Amino acid sequence: MEADLKSLATPYNRAHHRFAVFTACATFVLIIAGALVTSNDAGLSIPDWPTSFGSFSVPPLHGGIKFEWSHRAIAGSIVLLTISIAAWTWFADRRRWMKWLGIAALATVITQAILGGLTVLLFQPPWVSSAHAAVAQTFFCIAVAIAMFTGRRWVEEVPQIEFDHRRPSLFTLTLLSIFVLYVQLILGAMFRHHGMSWWPHVANAAIVAFVLTWTAIRALSQFSRIEAVRRPAIILVSLMIAQLCLGFIAFLTRVAWGRDAVQPELPMVISTVAHVAVGALLLATAVILAIQVWRQVPVSFEETVPTRTRKTVAA
Amino acid sequence: MNKKTSLAMFGMLCLLGLWLLVGCSKKQETNEAPAAAPSSPAQPAATPIDPSTVASVSGTVKLDGAAPKASKIDMSQDPACKGTNTAETVVDDGGKLANVFVYVKDGLGDRTFDVPKDAVTIDQQGCKYHPHVLGVMTGQNIEIKNDDQTTHNIHPTPQANREWNESQPPAAAPLEKSFAREEIMLPVKCNQHPWMRMYINVVKTPFYAVTAPDGKYEIKGLPPGDYTIAFVQEKLGEQTQKVTLAAKDSKTVDQSFKAQ
């Protein structure tokens, strides 16, 4: 039994953790690079894939090519980083579920690469491009989670467990937050890739704001003593406010003022890229909060015991 | 299922995905081939028109109201782009509207027409398309040239025809393309230079024109009959007028668009 428990734990590995943090940061850079491609309408500036103009060498980086090729180069690096982190986790981490999380990260990044190729070869159908955007942020969340799970706090600290008696539970609210953020991500991606009007994304922003505020208030009012819950809850609500402001600016620059723009203008590019980047941070924060709540705040269940006493009857 | 088997299965799945993708990429390349072949094979014989009875319609397309200020283009992202920096969304000269596609929308029945053997040309010069609005017949060759010292990609985004996207480096041989189905205001863009946009109008008849900078157009050689003439502008939309042409008629049909 003791041996089984020991096999579930793993010692803190500083190099492994730092590499995981680096991979997560590089993924964030990749999300910004991808947002720059879409915002500059440069997604098909290189018409072939996986080669670029029939070759793997660097093409002349002018016009939209510099955005698309940079995105491909960073994406290639991320694939290599993910292979490394998956292999490192597989061999160095004792936790079985962590080994499989590394493999899941690798599977996600390969799926993402395939979706990236399909979006070029099929001329950016909105559903493929939106799936590419959604899987990108899913991979970012996995990379952030790996960084957290390999961190000293997660590995060495004993959770401060407090039971959650209220309904809906905080854990349910965090899952609901992730769900509405995913819906928002897909609606936003569909709008950006011309598969849908802007209004479903704007309408759902109100739902996202309500659910995230509810989640953050519940976390801060009930479990503010637990730092692992308090910190992501504060970050969640701060990012949400920033994201709403950026969304409003992006709406003004892209929909209201930029309707007749002959090309992507700098204000619309900056506001939209920032909106995508903060959106990714917001989703990752919601995932971190959910994981920490799952770990630190277990949901209590009341078991109803029958009041009637059973009489023993002799056979 | 042990660990090794799971890993092997996962690896196989990844390889299968990549193989499928490469296959998809190759299929795309082979699909491009028929589009590059310009001539359409089995054309039905053209319905004869008596040249002694043909009529014509001409006129001027005007803009009613103040023209919107032309948007400025920022070409700074490519030093090789040295074109004029005004957009051609609405080109107006003293109330006369250029780049309006005018065509016989209705009235020709089931008549068929010979496809011209001569290709029409699209020239990429100064990081702009010349012309900005083009009319062609279905199956007619379009020759696309690049006179710029930079690579362009030509990417039509049709609704009724097949989409394609090809790059063309400086001094490359012209591309030859054609479109099989009728489509009005088919957008063509360059994803490397996002301000580059033009419209191709694909019709089944030779009875079309694009208004000149002075707003004038002329459609000749029409057989006598009742016709619907359509005027299409990329931003201002479509308007139609009915006209009856007798033998050897030469009618004037002017049209005006309200400024938005």
CATH number for the domain spanning B226: value is 2.60.40.420
Chain B CB contacts of A59 below 8 Å: 151
Number of domains within chain B: 1
Q: What is the ipTM of this complex?
A: 0.79
pLDDT digits (tens, 9 = 90+) for B106-132: 999 989 999 999 999 999 999 999 999
- Average per-residue pLDDT for chain A: 92
> What is the mean pLDDT of the segment spanning A47-57?
94
| Higher per-residue pLDDT: A119 or B41 | A119
Q: What pLDDT is attached to residue B11?
A: 55
Asked whether residue B102 is domain-assigned, the answer is yes
> What's the pLDDT score for residue A38?
95
Q: Which whole number is the average pLDDT over A139-154? A: 97
Hey, CA dihedral for A60, A61, A63, A66, is it positive or negative?
Answer: positive
- DSSP assignment letter at B90: S
Task: Provide the pLDDT for residue A309.
Answer: 53
Residue A171 is predicted with a pLDDT of 96
Task: Look at residue B47 and tell me whether its pLDDT is greater than 90.
Answer: no
pLDDT bin (cut points 50, 70, 90) of residue B42 is low
Answer for the pair B182, B105: CB distance below 8 angstroms, yes or no: no
pLDDT at A9: 79
CB–CB of B167 and A40 under 8 A?
A: no
In a domain, B9, yes or no: no
Give the model's pLDDT for residue A161. 82
User: Per the domain annotation, does B79 fall within a domain?
Assistant: yes
The answer to whether residue B12 sits within a structural domain is no
| A47 chain-B contacts, CB cut-off 8 A | 153, 155, 165-167
Residue B10: which of A44, A47, A107 has the nearest Cβ? A107
Say if the Cβ atoms of A64 and B191 lie within 8 Å. Answer: yes
Domain boundaries of chain A, sorted by first residue: 1-157, 160-300
Instruction: Locate the chain A residue with the closest alpha carbon to B198.
Output: A262
- Residues B126-166 have pLDDT tens digits of 999 999 999 999 999 999 999 999 999 999 999 999 999 99
Q: Which residue segment(s) compose the domain that B223 sits in?
A: 37-258
* Test the B interface: residue of A36, A37, A40, A44 with most B CBs within 10 Å: A44
* B57: phi then psi, degrees, rounded to nearest 5: -135, 135
Asked if residue A168 has a cis previous peptide bond (ω within 30° of 0), the answer is: yes
CB of B77 within 8 Å of a chain A CB? The answer is yes
**pLDDT over 50 at B104, yes or no:** yes
Mean pLDDT of B208-220: 96
A108-138 residue pLDDT tens: 999 999 999 999 999 999 999 999 999 999 9
Write the CB contacts of A216 (distance below 8 Å, at least 6 apart in sequence): A233, A234, A236, A237, A240
pTM for this predicted structure: 0.84
Q: Which residue of B has its CA nearest to A260?
A: B71
pLDDT-derived band at A53 (thresholds 50, 70, 90) equals: very high
Which ranges in chain B belong to alpha helices (H)?
3-36
Assess contact for B102 and B231: CB atoms under 8 A: yes
Average pLDDT over residues A82-93: 97
Judging contacts by C-beta atoms under 8 Å, the chain B residues touching residue A71 are none
* A-proximal residues of B, 193-222, CB under 8 Å: 193-195, 197
Contact B168, B175 (CB under 8 A): yes
B10 touches chain A (CB under 8 A): yes
pLDDT for position A259: 79
The closest CB to that of A65, out of B68, B163, B192, belongs to B192
Structure confidence at residue B29 (pLDDT): 38
CA-based angle B103:B159:B84, to the nearest 5? 70
Which residues of A are less than 8 Å from B80 in CB distance?
62
Peptide bond into B116 cis (omega under 30): no
Angle CA(A189)–CA(A191)–CA(A194) in degrees, nearest 5? Answer: 110
The answer to the question of residue B28 being in a domain is: no
Joined tokens for residue B177: 């393309």
Mean pLDDT of B81-94: 80
Q: Work out the pLDDT band at B32, boundaries 50, 70, 90.
A: very low
How would residue A4 be classed by pLDDT, with cut points 50, 70 and 90?
very low
Look at residues A78, A69, A8, A26 and name the one whose alpha carbon lies nearest to residue A44.
A69
Q: Which two tokens stand for residue A201?
A: 């994304």
Q: Which of A107, A117, A263 sits opposite B194 (nearest CB)?
A: A263
| SS3 of residue A172 by DSSP | helix
